[in-house]
Structure 1
Amino acid sequence: MNDPVLTLKGVTKTYSKGKPGAVEVLRGVDLSVGRGEVVALVAPSGAGKSTLLHIAGLLDTPDEGSVMIGGNEMVGLSDRRRTIVRRNDVGFVYQFHHLLPEFSALENIVLPQLARGVPKDEARLRALDLMARVGVAERAEHRPAALSGGEQQRVAFCRALANEPRLLLADEPTGNLDPETSDTVFAALMDLVRATGLSALIATHNMALAARMDRVLRLDKGGLSQG
């Protein structure tokens, strides 16, 4: 694989390590996501997909193994450096949108850019462009409570991409939506990912959605397999 954006090698993770009842969640996981590639991560509930995504996104650390983003080793970095990489290089989308309720949809997308030091006018223009791409530009001044579930999640996609990350990590991004809305929202996400050329690792239970991605990985009993 040329120019992998994300590489995990020999990643292990055990909760309550060394104690009775310890749970080995990841067992020597190897994974690569290439530049511009969209990979589906399919796993039964409790198999460790959220743990894998958190380790890939530097929200958790492996017990053993290597985590590389853009060819740079992340294991062993200081908390400050990990925070900078998360802010600049990684976008997150969750099953629930987690938008800030006191701010408008537009402001929710502008705020991460301001935290990075982007001028306010530039941040607003990028936010509006992203919202237009997923069909919610006319909802820019509405607060999250005034948006439908599908609109909230599309705004969350825009927020995740606001700082132009090289990697998108999504954990059941349409899992909280009805089937029809899920299909529409997922199509908007894929259009946005393809248009921006970033790499993505997307966890889903929906095999129909997984089949629309470039490659499918299955996580079960702590290990990964193809398709």
Structure 2
Amino acid sequence: MSDVMLRLDGLSKTYNSGKTNAVTVLQDAKLDIKAGEMVALVAPSGAGKSTLLHIAGLLDTPDTGTVEIGGVNMTGLSDRRRTIARRQDVGFVYQFHHLLPEFTAEENIVLPQLANGIAKSDAEARARDLLARVGIADRASHRPSAMSGGEQQRVAFCRALANAPRLLLADEPTGNLDPGTSDQVFAALMDLVRGTGLAALIATHNLELAARMDRVVKLDGGQVVAA
């Protein structure tokens, strides 16, 4: 059995911005990420990194090419099956935490598990364990408004891993934080990834953080190449 968790093969994506204007952001893009591997994706704004992440995470579809997660071709699945795969196999982290403000940290992590059919007691136990792993167990009963930006983003990490996905995708996960907090939060993210053994593709402008990952790639002319 292959240890490749994410395989992107021959991805192409073109957006039409008018009757005659077409912008190609991906062109025969290919990338393999193994289980337990953290890969940094560095690219300037507009180069297509968000498009690549959305296609890898089954939020968008390519014009051509395939997306495999755990050896399963996800490209031709029905919308329902893609939704199930996205819920079970993929975790997302964005630059802004997008936590539900009316719920506590623990509840924000419990809710996606309940949607996935996990018993409430088990979901609560996992939420507390994840919060402890990132060093904010004492914030479990706090709502987002009572937490710092770094604490909120750590909760977002925990929520992304709540359903034990096999793949983590992150789009500038520390881009909204000051340098000191960014370093602390990224260290917490690395500990989570290393502790669970999932594959991770993390887009970042921070070259120092990128250098701490296993591998760095970039988008060049719509293709994924070594940085």
Distance in 1 between the 2:35 and 2:76 partners? 24
State the identity %. 74
- Write the letter of the residue equivalent to 1:104: T
| RMSD, aligned α-carbons | 1.3
Distance in 2 between the 1:220 and 1:96 partners? 26
Aligned runs of 1:1-227 on 2, under 5 Å? Answer: 2-16=2-16, 19-227=19-227
Residue 188 of structure 1 and its aligned partner are, at CA, apart by: 0.3
- Please state whether the residue corresponding to 2:76 is helix, strand or coil: coil
Q: Which runs of 5+ in 2 are unaligned?
A: none
Residue 118 of structure 1 and its aligned partner are, at CA, apart by: 0.6
Cα displacement string for residues 38-58 of structure 1 (whole angstroms, at most 9, x for unaligned residues): 000000111000000000000
Cα displacement string for residues 92-142 of structure 1 (whole angstroms, at most 9, x for unaligned residues): 000000001111110000000001111101100000000000011101111
Residues 92, 169 of structure 2: 8 Å contact kept: yes
Residue 19 of structure 1 and its aligned partner are, at CA, apart by: 3.7
Residue 21 of structure 1 and its aligned partner are, at CA, apart by: 1.3
Distance in 1 between the 2:185 and 2:10 partners? 34
Distance in 1 between the 2:177 and 2:114 partners? 30
Distance in 2 between the 1:101 and 1:121 partners? 22
Residues 44, 220 of structure 1: 8 Å contact kept: no
Residues 16, 22 of structure 1: 8 Å contact kept: yes
Q: Which runs of 4+ in 1 moved over 2 A?
A: none
- Please state whether the residue corresponding to 1:15 is helix, strand or coil: strand
- Write the letter of the residue equivalent to 1:12: S
Q: How many residues align?
A: 227
Residues 2, 71 of structure 2: 8 Å contact kept: no
Q: Which runs of 5+ in 1 are unaligned?
A: none
Residue 222 of structure 1 and its aligned partner are, at CA, apart by: 1.0
Residue 18 of structure 1 and its aligned partner are, at CA, apart by: 8.7
Distance in 1 between the 2:70 and 2:81 partners? 14
Q: What's the TM-score once normalised by structure 2's chain length?
A: 0.98
Residue 221 of structure 1 and its aligned partner are, at CA, apart by: 2.5
Residues 2, 35 of structure 1: 8 Å contact kept: no
Q: What's the TM-score once normalised by structure 1's chain length?
A: 0.98
